[in-house]
Structures are given as C-alpha cells and as structure tokens.
C-alpha cells in the first residue's frame, strides 16, 4: 500500500510513523508513506496556502490551487483508489471502514486546517470524507495518523500474529473480553479459573459471553 499525505505540518508525523507497528510495516515494505508539504505548491512569495472566505466571516480557508496542483501531480504518476479528506463532517471511522480501506493500493489523504478547504476541492477532487469522531481538532494530521494506524495494522503480514488483529474489538461486532496475564494472583485479585483450566472450548465460550456482556454494558447500540 502507498499512502500520500498532503499537509502543512509534515513534521507532525515523525513520531507516529517512526515507531511500533507502522515503523515495522514500512521496514517490511508492506506500506509506503509519503508526506507532501502543501506550501511547496504555493505560488505566493510567502508560501501562503489560505485566504479570507468569500462572503466574509471569521477564520481562513485553505486555497484550491496548491492542493489541486499537488493532487494533479500525484495522479499523473499513478492511479489512486481514494482521495480522502479528514473532516469532522465526514463518514465516521469504524472497524468495517478501516478493514475496507486496508485492501486498497494507493491512497491520498488531505489534512485540512482553519475553517476548512475550498468547497470546489470537495466537489471535484475528494472521493471519500472521513471523521474520527464528533469533535473538532486543530488540523487533520492527528486524524490522518489515526486512520493510517487503523488501516495499516490489519494488512496481512504487518502484525506477527495475524489472529491478534482479527480478535480485536469491533472485528466481530463486539467489544473484546477482559484479558489477564501473570501473576495469576495479585494482592488476592485472582484470574478467573476458566482461563487457567486449559480447556479451550470453555475458554472460548467464556470469552464470547464476556464480550457480549461488556458490549451490552458499554455499547448497547451494537447488540
């Protein structure tokens, strides 16, 4: 998978993309992530990429030209499956969405700022709009990092034990059950006996029951 991210703050991705699962995915050659500074495509001598909104009002708007020029350059080099805009009013990111996106080959992500991007970009360039939650961030970079992580971690070969990703919360429409590790008794707080029994069928049944119970308690709309 190749991911091209358009941003005015490329340095914000240094941490998220230089550690853990995303770092290993890059090292294995399973994903390429390319950062593009939108300011590099500005024709303004001060490298501005925003301007006042037509009609007045508070805030600034990201200009169409530098973003369109960057996307046009990338699309001239290869075909893209999606051009994604990270925006609070987009489709809410969930596990089925992440699963579907993980199957794509080439993706562009646009990180917005200020009051948003010129609407003509949304009408003529953007093919998918995604929100990571019903709240507003200062920019799309954090949302893009979250989206990348959710997609990349389920690409086959990224995680050593692929069954681990398949048993994550929401993969089967349920929240994951409680998990425990050693010691089996800490300050009198004991691990459930069934998990120490070695009886695989009973353990699977217990985990399913706990997943259903926890989902009903914490996400009643899911069951």
pLDDT for residue 167: 58
Average pLDDT (139-152) is 98
Average pLDDT (147-156) is 96
Q: Which residue has the higher pLDDT, 163 or 28?
A: 28
Q: What is the pLDDT of residues 111-140, one digit of tens each?
A: 999 999 999 999 999 999 999 999 999 999
Q: What is the pLDDT of residues 46-79, one digit of tens each?
A: 999 999 999 999 999 999 999 999 999 999 999 9
Distance CA 196, CA 206 (A): 12
Given the structure tokens 């200009």, which residue do they identify? 63
Compute how many other C-beta atoms are within 10 angstroms of the C-beta atom of residue 91. Answer: 12
Task: Place 169 in a pLDDT band, splitting at 50, 70 and 90.
Answer: low
Given the structure tokens 């089925």, which residue do they identify? 96
Q: How far is CA 169 from CA 20, 153, 176, 189, in A?
A: 20, 13, 5, 25
Domain regions of the chain by residue span: 2-152, 167-222
pLDDT for residue 223: 76
Distance CA 85, CA 89 (A): 10
- Lowest-pLDDT range of 34-43, 169-178, 180-189, 211-220: 169-178
Same fold, 2-152 and 167-222: no
2-152 topology per CATH = Alpha/beta knot (3.40.1280)
The CATH number of 167-222, from 1.10.1270.20, 3.40.50.300, 2.130.10.10, 1.20.1730.10, is 1.10.1270.20
Round the average pLDDT of the chain to a whole number and report it: 94
Q: What is the pLDDT of residues 17-46, one digit of tens each?
A: 999 999 999 999 999 999 999 999 999 899
% of the chain at pLDDT higher than 70: 96
């Amino acid at each position: 998978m190749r991911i091209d991210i358009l941003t005015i703050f490329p340095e914000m991705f240094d941490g998220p993309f230089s550690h853990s699962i995303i770092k290993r995915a890059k090292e294995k050659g399973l994903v390429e992530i390319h950062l593009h500074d939108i300011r590099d495509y500005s024709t303004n001598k001060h490298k501005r990429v925003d301007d006042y909104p037509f009609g007045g009002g508070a805030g600034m708007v990201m200009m169409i030209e530098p973003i369109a020029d960057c996307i046009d350059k990338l699309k001239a080099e290869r075909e893209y499956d999606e051009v994604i805009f990270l925006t609070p009013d987009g489709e809410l990111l969930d596990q089925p969405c992440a699963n579907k996106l993980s199957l794509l080959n080439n993706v562009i992500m646009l990180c917005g700022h200020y009051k948003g991007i010129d609407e003509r970009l949304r009408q003529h360039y953007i093919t998918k709009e995604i929100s990571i939650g019903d709240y507003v961030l200062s920019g799309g970079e954090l949302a893009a990092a979250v989206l990348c992580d959710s997609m990349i971690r389920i690409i086959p070969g990224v995680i050593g034990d692929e069954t681990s990703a398949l048993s994550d919360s929401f993969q089967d429409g349920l929240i994951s059950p409680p998990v425990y590790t050693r010691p089996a008794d800490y300050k009198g707080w004991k691990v459930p006996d069934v998990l120490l029994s070695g009886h695989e069928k009973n353990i699977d049944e217990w985990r399913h029951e706990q997943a259903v119970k926890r989902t009903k308690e914490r996400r009643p709309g899911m069951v």
